[in-house]
């Protein structure tokens, strides 16, 4: 899967739309958000693309190309962008001698950092929209509070699945995630594994 900044931006918009939709009707879609790997993004980005940089600090640098050509350019020390070549007659000997080498990797590092930041934002957004997929929720399922809720729900059902009333209840299922982490017991039901899996397959949510 390949990504680019515009893909990610499109996805942010998509996430926002899904968030709006989920506020209107939290249980209608069960859609999951695809974040992608975010790993193969660099090739698609040109160093000149620096959407988030206002180039606050630039420095004169000596840029040597593979064919041996030397240009003097101003490089943004934040995003790595290079200006057009500066005519030598505009520069003093001293300036040219003291100019450090152009950092060929800076733009790539900057783009990678931007993408990483976007990925983190998307993940935070997804955790808001789909809290049951979050690490916090996985921890919660191991917590003493959840153990108590779980036991009470299964006890309430007499240990029998509330989906089929034939098999033993071994899982506790959320009828809603409205109060995730602060559930009321009526929002939870005791289910057997078969019913639980069937429910999540039908509704499209991963078990
Ligand atoms: Zn810049
Ligand atoms: Zn069942
Ligand atoms: Zn469930």
Domain coordinates of the chain in residue numbers? 5-43+110-128, 58-108, 136-203
User: pLDDT over 90 for what percent of the chain?
Assistant: 66
157 alpha carbon – ligand 2 mean position (Å): 11
179 alpha carbon – ligand 1 mean position (Å): 44
- Give the CATH number of domain 136-203: 3.40.1800
Q: Dmax over Cα atoms in the chain, in whole Å?
A: 90
51 alpha carbon – ligand 1 mean position (Å): 9
pLDDT tens, residue by residue, 4-24: 545 655 665 565 565 455 444
81 alpha carbon – ligand 3 mean position (Å): 50
Is the pLDDT assigned to residue 47 strictly greater than 50? no
Q: How confident is the model at residue 127 (pLDDT cuts 50, 70, 90)?
A: confident
For β-strands 171-174 and 188-191, DSSP reports them as: antiparallel
pLDDT tens, residue by residue, 61-101: 999 999 999 999 999 999 999 999 999 999 999 999 999 99
Shortest-distance ligand to the CA of residue 194: 2
176 alpha carbon – ligand 2 mean position (Å): 18
Report how far residue 111's alpha carbon sits from residue 115's, in angstroms, rounded to the nearest whole number.
Answer: 6
Count of CA atoms in the C-beta half-sphere (13 A) of 29: 15
Q: Are 42 and 111 in contact (CB under 8 A)?
A: yes
Q: How confident is the model at residue 133 (pLDDT cuts 50, 70, 90)?
A: confident
0.75 surpassed by pTM: no
181 alpha carbon – ligand 3 mean position (Å): 14
Q: Would you state the pLDDT for residue 54?
A: 92
Who contacts 101 (Cβ-Cβ below 8 Å, separation ≥6)? 61, 62, 63, 64
What value does the mean pLDDT take over residues 161-168?
98
What value does the mean pLDDT take over residues 27-40?
39
Shortest-distance ligand to the CA of residue 48: 1
Report how far residue 141's alpha carbon sits from residue 131's, in angstroms, rounded to the nearest whole number.
Answer: 12
190 alpha carbon – ligand 2 mean position (Å): 9
Dihedral, CA of residue 136, residue 140, residue 143 and residue 146, to nearest 10? 170
Report how far residue 143's alpha carbon sits from residue 117's, in angstroms, rounded to the nearest whole number.
Answer: 30
Q: Would you state the pLDDT for residue 165?
A: 98
147 alpha carbon – ligand 1 mean position (Å): 52
102 alpha carbon – ligand 1 mean position (Å): 14
Q: Would you state the pLDDT for residue 106?
A: 96
């Amino acid at each position: 899967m390949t990504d680019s900044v515009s893909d990610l931006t499109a996805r942010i918009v998509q996430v926002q739309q899904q968030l709006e939709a989920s506020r209107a009707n939290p249980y209608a879609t069960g859609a999951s958000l695809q974040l992608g790997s975010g790993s193969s993004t660099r090739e698609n980005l040109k160093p000149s693309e620096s959407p988030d940089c206002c180039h606050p600090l630039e420095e004169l640098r000596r840029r040597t190309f593979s064919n041996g050509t030397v240009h003097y350019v101003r490089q943004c020390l934040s995003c790595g962008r290079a200006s057009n070549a500066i005519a030598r007659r505009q520069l003093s000997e001293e300036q040219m001698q003291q100019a450090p080498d152009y950092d060929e990797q800076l733009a790539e590092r900057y783009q990678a950092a931007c993408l990483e930041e976007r990925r983190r934002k998307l993940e935070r957004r997804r955790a808001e929209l789909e809290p049951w997929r979050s690490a916090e929720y996985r921890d919660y399922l191991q917590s003493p509070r959840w153990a108590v809720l779980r036991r009470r729900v299964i006890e309430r059902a007499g240990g029998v699945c509330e989906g089929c009333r034939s098999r033993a209840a071994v899982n506790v299922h959320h009828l809603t995630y409205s109060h995730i982490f602060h559930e009321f017991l009526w929002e939870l039901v005791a289910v057997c594994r078969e019913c639980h899996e069937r429910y999540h397959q039908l509704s499209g949510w991963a078990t």
